[in-house]
């Protein structure tokens, strides 16, 4: 339910502002239309926007309860209050926590979906708050030398955040149900998580090694592994050594200067190293899994016919009207989100449609209605309803910003029922016509969650799952009356009527394993003796989301293996059904604290806006070393962010500074920077100061699920001047004088629909277009005229009949008029080390790398224009997944590339003669070679490529002879970062 933010990123984000002007991608986190207020308690400050006050008061009370329960357990209490930001801008349930630059929890006001590893909750808000606050008590616990350094430099170090994610997420999973002690809830008690662990333990290739669990996985269940195995491993440690051992370990790990040896730190507290403990833990998980299977096998085991074999996720199977095909939504680890169709025998059928996510599907005739998320008003991610033409694959939007999901169509296809997220944290069942008219609310109760409505064939009855008072049951609306279908302690889900309306099928975790059950509708509504629940399946893993064919002869449902979810079928045979597994008794409702009644006040950025750190900033200028410091900060809502640095050179007797500001209070985002640096003078006989008085930008962001675009419009004013020079004779004539002011307009734009999937080795579909232009003119107040522009287009094509081989093509070019300091505007040649900052910020794979003409030395070709074409054939080689216990370096995959680069730098007419020739095809140089790429996980989180390359310079291939030195040589390189 949480994503642990790497603490180092907070520092990297501040440094990014010092390294360059604010990038357009650094968008504000929240919609500027929100009006924020703050509610304060003894240990928390809850920030919320309009419409959330009631929920915020519940959050405040729950957070204080979490502090009272968890702080003694973990032996730590933060020295300052925790900032909690509550937002209702996403229909995806989640929370985010970071201890840097100050303790911050971000909560989405959204209950979890029906079938997910998050659904084993008694109160979703309590589970969410407890889980996230464990992160604060864990990650913020710093002692020893790191604590001393933090006292001196500000909050910079959080050693507990630099450990494998299963530690932080596992500890949070262990305690996420402590708000409801003694109850059977939380992910460690989830039948879905138990199913995952059972498959990992018993199906090949066997239980994951410690190094595999400590790093990002390429196999199912992907990012759930830290929560799944971490939660169970922490429970194992707690049972073995007690809460005190875990609290002691956290304190010791928080004192480590080198945080990447957690096993060594933990051995004194747990009596063995983590590798030894992990082996014992794996054996216990296998024994637990076998016990479950033995219990299942005491009765006849259902062996369904599996008709898909993709794994990943699969859901919402639906028969076509003629019963010849089954459509379903899937997330394929090789191809992403899709709507797929198969025959009941498992043969591919119909069109495959890219749907970019989805939580609900219903069919009627040749049309389908599905729900899927989309960006709303630029900042929010809301579910909406879409009509899909199955034959053509065309999508038509039915709602916009309705926050509607899980649609169910009536038999005639004219009416649908769906789940709507009505207000923050609240849900309702609504009915509407497919043409968008006549929407009405059928069911809504405060604090009650609803899921997966189903319409009876005659349209008179509607069944759905309901979460009320800590229990998940089924409710039936029968022409105005409410009928309780189930009333126990099991999680009941996904109701579906049979075509004749006689049975209501559903899935349930009663008995500890999800199976299908059937409720006889007419008998139960009549109150007769025939009202007896029946168990349809008795599977070894799980069975979910049933649907019945139009002829009533076949049940299709979602099944599970280690590879993930797939679709299976079995005959509709009531004679073979079993007596149901007993459901657990219904527990009393969870005890929830009363909402906080303290008054709220308008949000003020000042309490979190001050500088949170400072750090020495050593450097050099042309005359020797420089000494300085940097600092930065930003308020918790991201309305204002800034970074400042200043330095001085004792030998040059010059000072410099850099200041940057990003304002997240508007669209477009506003960024402002100013700096002064000292470089070697243009005549080589002194120093030159470069003083950017202001660099102002407006950053327009256009996010979508299928594509994204960024546009920055800017103006910069820069004063250049020669200082301490013995001669100014060589000051370039195009600047006019020794001191020159440049007034320039800038444009940066990027658009991309490039796609890469879980098992991709690079982007393998779509394209990325980037434009960058600068114009300085005397009409703008500049002392000189200068224009420069460059563009690039990268295209990615999956190689047919291969799994992940990719043909990556790139065209780039640029042209300039004028030059600053007689330096060439463009240079080609060599492979430069990409900036590692985007890697740390997690944006490394989003943009193409710098222009590369491999095989030639760096800067070999220079000019006022350039043209370049790159082609790579990329292919996977192996997936060794090699690491050692909890060491912070992990080799995930090896892949390779064969490349050819063709390009040249040239002179435009009337410009300075850097290249000595205009653009001609016979001047184009060719470089070719190959690269081996090691896909590494560094520090457990950052995934990038280590590129080992060899390139050969073939020279002017269209002239038939080289005619220049160095051609024919072989260049080698080792760089960290992805290619374009």
34-59: pLDDT as tens digits: 999 999 999 999 999 999 999 999 99
Q: Give dist(CA 322, CA 169) in Å, integer.
A: 47
Give the pLDDT mean for 547-552: 97
Max CA-CA distance within the chain?
A: 108
Q: Give dist(CA 748, CA 771) in Å, integer.
A: 6
The model's pLDDT over 250-296, given as tens digits with 9 standing for 90+, comes to 999 999 999 999 999 999 999 999 999 999 999 999 999 999 999 99
Q: What's the pLDDT score for residue 730?
A: 45
**Interhelix angle 274-296/191-202, nearest 10 degrees:** 110
Beta strand 95-98 pairing with 2-4: parallel
Q: Which residues contact 283 (CB under 8 A, 6 or more apart)?
A: none
Q: How confident is the model at residue 136 (pLDDT cuts 50, 70, 90)?
A: very high
Residue 313 has pLDDT above 70, yes or no: yes
Residue 815 has pLDDT above 90, yes or no: yes
Mean pLDDT, the chain, rounded, equals 91
What tokens does 805 get?
């081989």
**DSSP annotation string for 96-115:** EEE-SSS-EEEEES-PPPSS
Q: What's the pLDDT score for residue 837?
A: 52
Residue 346 has pLDDT above 60, yes or no: yes
Q: Give dist(CA 43, CA 943) in Å, integer.
A: 36
The model's pLDDT over 933-942, given as tens digits with 9 standing for 90+, comes to 999 999 999 9
Residue 406 has phi, psi (to 5 degrees) of 55, 55
Q: Which of the residue ranges 206-220, 532-546, 579-593 would you say has the lowest mean pLDDT?
A: 579-593
Q: Which residues contact 707 (CB under 8 A, 6 or more apart)?
A: 751, 752, 753, 766
CB atoms within 10 A of CB 283: 12
321 vs 961, residue with greater confidence: 321
The model's pLDDT over 89-123, given as tens digits with 9 standing for 90+, comes to 999 999 999 999 999 999 999 999 998 999 999 99
| Distance separating the N- and C-terminal Cα atoms of the chain | 33
Q: What's the pLDDT score for residue 657?
A: 95
Residue 520 has pLDDT above 70, yes or no: yes
Return the residue matching tokens 């195009």.
734
Strands (E), 799-846: 806-817, 826-828
Q: What's the pLDDT score for residue 603?
A: 98
Q: How confident is the model at residue 682 (pLDDT cuts 50, 70, 90)?
A: low
Q: Give dist(CA 609, CA 85) in Å, integer.
A: 15
**Interhelix angle 262-270/243-253, nearest 10 degrees:** 150
Q: Give dist(CA 360, CA 372) in Å, integer.
A: 8
Q: How confident is the model at residue 243 (pLDDT cuts 50, 70, 90)?
A: confident
Q: What is the 3-state composition of the chain as percent helix, strand, coil, each rounded to the nearest 5?
A: 20, 40, 40
Q: What's the pLDDT score for residue 936?
A: 97
- Specify the pTM: 0.94
Q: Give dist(CA 136, CA 142) in Å, integer.
A: 11
Q: Give dist(CA 905, CA 317) in Å, integer.
A: 57
The model's pLDDT over 817-849, given as tens digits with 9 standing for 90+, comes to 988 767 889 999 988 776 655 555 444 444 445
Nearest CA among 565, 596, 437, 574 for reference residue 502: 574
Give the pLDDT mean for 857-869: 93
CB atoms within 10 A of CB 908: 16
What tokens does 471 get?
């229990």
Q: What's the pLDDT score for residue 773?
A: 96
Q: How confident is the model at residue 699 (pLDDT cuts 50, 70, 90)?
A: very high
Q: How confident is the model at residue 180 (pLDDT cuts 50, 70, 90)?
A: confident
Contact (Cβ atoms closer than 8 angstroms) between residue 523 and residue 514: no
Residue 910 has pLDDT above 90, yes or no: no
Return the residue matching tokens 């896909």.
935
Residue 443 has pLDDT above 80, yes or no: yes
Q: How confident is the model at residue 960 (pLDDT cuts 50, 70, 90)?
A: low
Give the pLDDT mean for 793-809: 96
Q: What's the pLDDT score for residue 962?
A: 56
Residue 356 has pLDDT above 90, yes or no: no
* Residue 222: HSE in the Cβ half-sphere, 13 Å Cα cutoff: 14
Helix (DSSP H) and strand (DSSP E) numbers for the chain: 14, 50
Contact (Cβ atoms closer than 8 angstroms) between residue 688 and residue 655: no
| Length of the chain, in residues | 980
Q: Which of the residue ranges 4-8, 577-581, 893-897 would you say has the lowest mean pLDDT?
A: 4-8
DSSP state of 154: B
Percent of the chain scoring above 70 in pLDDT: 93
Residue 183 has pLDDT above 80, yes or no: no
Give the pLDDT mean for 704-733: 76
Residue 551 has pLDDT above 90, yes or no: yes
Burial annotation 798-820 (CB, 10 A radius, 16+ → b, else e):
beeeeebbbebbbebbbbbbbbb
Nearest CA among 632, 662, 661 for reference residue 645: 632
**Interhelix angle 165-175/225-241, nearest 10 degrees:** 70
Residue 553 has pLDDT above 50, yes or no: yes
**DSSP annotation string for 489-545:** SSBEEEEEE-TTSSEEEEEE-TTSS-EEEEEEHHHHHHT-TT---EE----SS-EEE
Give the pLDDT mean for 840-865: 74
Q: What's the pLDDT score for residue 16?
A: 39
Q: How confident is the model at residue 28 (pLDDT cuts 50, 70, 90)?
A: low
Nearest CA among 750, 763, 653, 672 for reference residue 711: 750
Q: What's the pLDDT score for residue 53?
A: 96
Q: Give dist(CA 528, CA 578) in Å, integer.
A: 20
Q: What's the pLDDT score for residue 19?
A: 35
Q: Give dist(CA 412, CA 408) in Å, integer.
A: 12
The model's pLDDT over 472-504, given as tens digits with 9 standing for 90+, comes to 999 999 987 999 999 999 999 999 999 999 999
Beta strand 865-878 pairing with 2-4: unpaired
Q: Give dist(CA 812, CA 865) in Å, integer.
A: 11
What tokens does 573 get?
């045979």
Assign residue 461 a region: left if phi > 0, alpha if psi is -120 to 50, beta otherwise?
beta
Give the pLDDT mean for 212-231: 96
What is the 3-class SS of 782-851, one letter each residue?
CCCCEEEEEEEEEEEEECCCCCCCEEEEEEEEEEEECCCCCCCCEEECECCCCCHHHHHHCCCCCCCCCC
Residue 668 has pLDDT above 50, yes or no: yes
């Amino acid at each position: 339910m949480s994503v642990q933010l790497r603490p180092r990123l907070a520092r990297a984000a501040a440094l990014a502002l010092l390294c360059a002007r604010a990038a357009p991608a650094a968008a504000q986190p929240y919609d500027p239309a929100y009006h924020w207020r703050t509610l304060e308690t003894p240990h928390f400050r809850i920030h919320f926007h309009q419409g959330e006050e009631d929920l915020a008061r519940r959050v405040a009370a729950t957070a204080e309860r979490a502090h009272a329960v968890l702080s003694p357990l973990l032996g730590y209490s933060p020295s300052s209050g925790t900032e909690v930001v509550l937002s209702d801008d996403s229909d995806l349930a989640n929370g985010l926590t970071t201890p840097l630059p100050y303790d911050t929890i971000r909560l989405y006001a959204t209950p979890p979906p029906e079938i997910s590893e998050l659904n084993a909750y008694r109160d979703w808000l309590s589970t969410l708050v407890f889980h996230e606050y464990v992160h604060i008590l864990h990650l913020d616990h710093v002692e020893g030398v790191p604590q001393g350094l933090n006292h001196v430099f500000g909050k910079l170090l959080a050693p507990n955040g630099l450990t494998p994610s299963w530690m932080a997420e596992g500890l949070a999973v262990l305690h996420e149900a402590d708000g409801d002690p003694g109850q059977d809830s939380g992910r460690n008690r989830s039948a879905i998580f138990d199913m995952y662990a059972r498959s990992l333990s018993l199906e090949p290739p066997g239980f994951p090694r410690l190094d595999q669990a400590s790093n990002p996985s390429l196999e199912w269940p992907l990012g759930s592994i830290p929560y799944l195995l971490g939660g169970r491993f922490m429970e194992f440690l707690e049972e073995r050594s007690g809460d005190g051992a875990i609290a002691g370990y956290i304190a010791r790990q928080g004192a480590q200067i080198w945080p990447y040896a957690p096993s060594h730190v933990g051995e004194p507290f747990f009596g063995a190293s983590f590798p030894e403990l992990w082996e014992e833990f794996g054996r216990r998980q296998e024994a637990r899994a076998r016990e479950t299977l033995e219990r299942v096998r005491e009765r006849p085991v259902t062996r369904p016919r599996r008709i898909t074999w993709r794994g990943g996720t699969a859901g919402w199977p639906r028969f076509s009207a003629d019963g010849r095909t089954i459509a379903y939504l899937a997330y394929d680890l090789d191809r992403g989100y899709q709507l797929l169709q198969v025959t009941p025998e498992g043969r591919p059928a119909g069109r495959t449609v890219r749907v970019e996510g989805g939580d609900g599907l219903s069919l009627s005739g040749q049309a389908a209605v599905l729900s899927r998320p989309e960006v709303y008003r630029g900042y929010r991610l809301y579910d909406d309803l879409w009509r899909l033409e199955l034959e053509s694959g065309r999508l038509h939007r039915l709602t916009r910003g309705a926050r509607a999901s899980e649609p169910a169509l009536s038999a005639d296809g004219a009416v649908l029922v769906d789940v709507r997220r009505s207000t923050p944290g609240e849900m309702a069942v609504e009915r509407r016509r497919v043409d968008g008219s006549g929407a009405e609310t059928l069911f809504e109760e405060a604090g009650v969650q609803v899921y997966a409505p189903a319409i009876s064939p005659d349209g008179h009855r509607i069944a759905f799952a309901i979460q009320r008072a800590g229990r998940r049951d089924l409710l039936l609306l029968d022409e105005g009356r409410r009928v309780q279908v189930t009333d126990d302690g099991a999680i009941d889900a996904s109701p579906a009527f049979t075509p004749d309306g006689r049975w209501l099928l559903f899935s349930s975790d009663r008995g500890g394993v999800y199976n299908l059950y059937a409720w006889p509708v007419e008998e139960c509504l009549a109150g007769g003796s025939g009202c007896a629940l029946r168990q349809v399946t008795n599977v070894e893993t799980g069975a979910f989301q049933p649907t019945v064919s139009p002829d009533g002869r076949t049940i299709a449902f979602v099944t599970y293996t280690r590879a993930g979810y797939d679709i299976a079928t079995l005959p509709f045979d009531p004679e073979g059904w079993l007596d149901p597994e007993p459901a657990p008794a219904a527990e009393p409702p969870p005890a929830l604290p009363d909402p906080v009644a303290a008054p709220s006040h308008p949000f003020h950025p000042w309490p979190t806006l001050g500088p949170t750190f400072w750090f020495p900033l050593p450097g050099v200028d042309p005359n020797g070393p420089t000494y300085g410091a940097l600092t930065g900060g930003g308020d918790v809502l991201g309305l204002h962010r800034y970074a400042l640095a200043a330095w001085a050179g004792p030998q040059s007797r010059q000072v410099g500074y850099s200041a940057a500001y990003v304002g997240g209070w508007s669209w477009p985002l506003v960024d402002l920077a100013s700096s002064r640096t000292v470089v070697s003078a243009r005549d080589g006989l002194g120093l030159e100061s470069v003083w950017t008085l202001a660099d102002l930008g407006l950053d327009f962001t256009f996010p979508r699920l299928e594509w994204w675009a960024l546009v920055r419009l800017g103006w910069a004013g820069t004063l250049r001047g020669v200082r301490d020079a013995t001669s100014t004779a060589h000051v370039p004539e195009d600047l006019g004088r020794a001191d020159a002011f440049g007034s320039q307009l800038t444009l940066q734009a990027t658009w991309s629909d490039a796609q890469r999937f879980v098992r991709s080795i690079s982007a393998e579909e779509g394209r990325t277009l980037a434009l960058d232009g600068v114009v300085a003119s005397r009409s703008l107040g500049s002392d000189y005229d200068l224009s420069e522009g460059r563009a690039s287009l990268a295209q990615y094509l999956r190689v047919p009949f291969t799994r992940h081989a990719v043909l990556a093509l790139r065209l780039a070019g640029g042209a300039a008029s004028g030059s600053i300091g007689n330096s060439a505007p463009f240079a080609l040649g060599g492979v430069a080390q990409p900036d590692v900052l985007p890697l740390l910020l997690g944006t490394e794979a989003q943009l193409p790398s710098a222009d590369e003409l491999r095989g030639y030395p760096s800067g070999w070709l220079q000019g006022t224009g350039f043209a370049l074409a790159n082609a790579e054939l990329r292919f996977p080689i192996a997936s060794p997944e090699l690491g050692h216990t909890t060491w912070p370096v992990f080799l995930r995959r090896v892949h390779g590339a064969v490349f050819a680069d063709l390009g040249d730098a040239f002179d435009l007419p009337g410009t300075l003669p850097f290249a000595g020739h205009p653009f001609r095809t016979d001047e184009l140089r060719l470089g070719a070679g190959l690269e081996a790429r090691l896909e590494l996980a560094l520090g457990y989180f950052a995934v990038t490529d280590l590129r080992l390359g060899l390139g050969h310079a073939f020279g002017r291939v269209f002239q038939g002879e080289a005619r220049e030195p160095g051609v024919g040589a072989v260049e080698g390189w080792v760089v960290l970062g992805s290619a374009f």
